Amino acid sequence: MISINQVKFIQSLKQKKFREIHDQFIAEGSRLVLDLISSRFVVKEVFAEQQWISLNRAILGANNISFTLVSESEMSRISALSSPSPVLSIVTIPEAAELPSSFQDEIILMLDDIKDPGNLGTIVRIADWFGIGTIICSENMVDLYNPKVVQATMGSIARVKAIYANLGDFLQQIKGSTEVFGTFMSGENIYSCNLPSSGIIVIGNESNGISKEVSEYVNTRLQIPSFANNNAPSAPESLNAAVATAIVCAEFRRQGIQ
């Protein structure tokens, strides 16, 4: 049975300031929790309904993870989801990874002030799908360990490193060591541009795009062309940041395997 103090502690981790104080975050969902257990992350404790415990008791035991049995109603009290899953875990936030110093044959995503939790979580999932292991995030963008972000990664948070840094300072330090690509409303058509197997891909803020400071370091401006009737009154003005990320990553990988 879960205690009142445990409920309060779990609920506090939905806020960034308490995640930073305790260096812990919450993750919900069977696939997500199991992915975290088998990853570099340290799962401190699991709260789960009886059926989930019965199915996964051996995994919990093999990894020395303590668990608390909770009822469906108790799970609804601690869950951050509108439809609670049968399992919630408390996970230790790992020490920040070092920024990359070598870019040989590696594609790195750089996110400039992404604000929407769903976008960040989806971008982490996209990076995982396309074999991109590192994302560099601007300092003040949405927190990777926000419950909505963690949920949207669908387990990919276990395999993709996200590093927060001052983008301008980092780009200045590595200037000339790799090519930097950015997505803009005007630029080279991504489908006719020769793309390399390594480099940094910058994705900008949902409303304002790539900041002036970061855009100064972009070597190649890429445009995803629209095939809509742009003269129509309801023609789309831009793409969602996560959708744009998927298109760009797909084209980089497509050209890389030709």
Do 129 and 64 fall within a single domain? no
- Residue 3's CB is within 10 A of a number of other CB atoms, namely 9
Calculate mean pLDDT across residues 186-215: 95
Provide the number of structural domains found in the chain. Answer: 2
Do both 59 and 131 map to the same domain?
Answer: no
Q: Could you tell me the CATH number of the domain that includes residue 188?
A: 3.40.1280.10
Question: How confident is the model at residue 231, as a pLDDT?
Answer: 62
The last residue of one of the domains, among 92, 119, 150, is 92
Question: What CATH number does residue 58 fall under?
Answer: 3.30.1330.30
Same domain, 61 and 133: no
Task: Mark which of 57, 92, 127 sits at the end of a domain.
Answer: 92
Strands (E), 29-159: 42-48, 66-69, 87-92, 107-111, 134-138
Report the pLDDT value the prediction gives residue 257, as an integer from 0 to 100: 76
Contact (CB, 8 A) for 59 and 46: no
pTM above 0.85, yes or no: yes
Structure tokens at 210: 């790539």
Tell whether 102 is covered by a domain: no
The model's pLDDT over 112-156, given as tens digits with 9 standing for 90+, comes to 999 999 999 999 999 999 999 999 999 999 999 999 999 999 999
Residue 228 pLDDT: 79
Q: Is the same domain home to 145 and 241?
A: yes
Residue 187 is assigned to a structural domain of this protein: yes
pLDDT at 103: 78
Whether 189 and 249 share a structural domain: yes
Query: Is the residue at 72 inside a domain?
Result: yes
Residue 104: predicted pLDDT: 78
Q: Are 33 and 65 in contact (CB under 8 A)?
A: no
Question: CB neighbours of 211 closer than 8 A, spacing ≥ 6?
Answer: 112, 113, 167, 204, 205
The mean pLDDT of 51-78, rounded to a whole number, is 96
Pair (126, 212) in one structural domain: yes
Q: Last residue of some domain: 92, 119, 139?
A: 92
Lowest mean pLDDT among 88-97, 192-201, 249-258: 249-258
Asked if residue 119 and residue 212 are part of one domain, the reply reads yes
Distance CA 121, CA 151 (A): 7
Same domain assignment for residues 88 and 121 = no
Residues 51 and 76 reside in one and the same domain: yes
pLDDT at 49 over 80: yes
Within this chain, do residues 151 and 239 fall inside the same structural domain, yes or no?
yes
CA dihedral 17, 122, 224, 237 (to 10 degrees): -70
Question: For residue 6, which of 77, 99, 98 has the smallest C-alpha distance?
Answer: 77
The confidence band for 258, taking pLDDT boundaries of 50, 70 and 90, is low
Verify that 124 and 218 share a domain, yes or no. Answer: yes
User: What was the pLDDT predicted at 229?
Assistant: 67
In Å, how far are 40, 158, 213, 254 from 93, measured between CA atoms?
A: 10, 11, 30, 34
Range of the domain at 22: 4-92
**For residue 203, what are the β-bridge partners?**
111
- Give yes or no: residues 118 and 220 share one domain: yes
Confidence of residue 24 (pLDDT cuts 50, 70, 90): very high
- Show the tokens assigned to 212: 């002036």
Residue 101, in any domain of the structure: no
Cβ(169)–Cβ(110) below 8 Å: no
Q: Are 149 and 122 in contact (CB under 8 A)?
A: no
In this predicted structure, which of 48-57, 176-185, 203-212, 223-232 has the lowest mean pLDDT?
223-232
Mean pLDDT of the chain: 94
**Residue-level pLDDT at 234:** 61
- Quick one: CA dihedral 49, 51, 52, 53, positive or negative? positive
On whether residue 149 sits in a domain, the answer given is yes
222 beta partners: 188
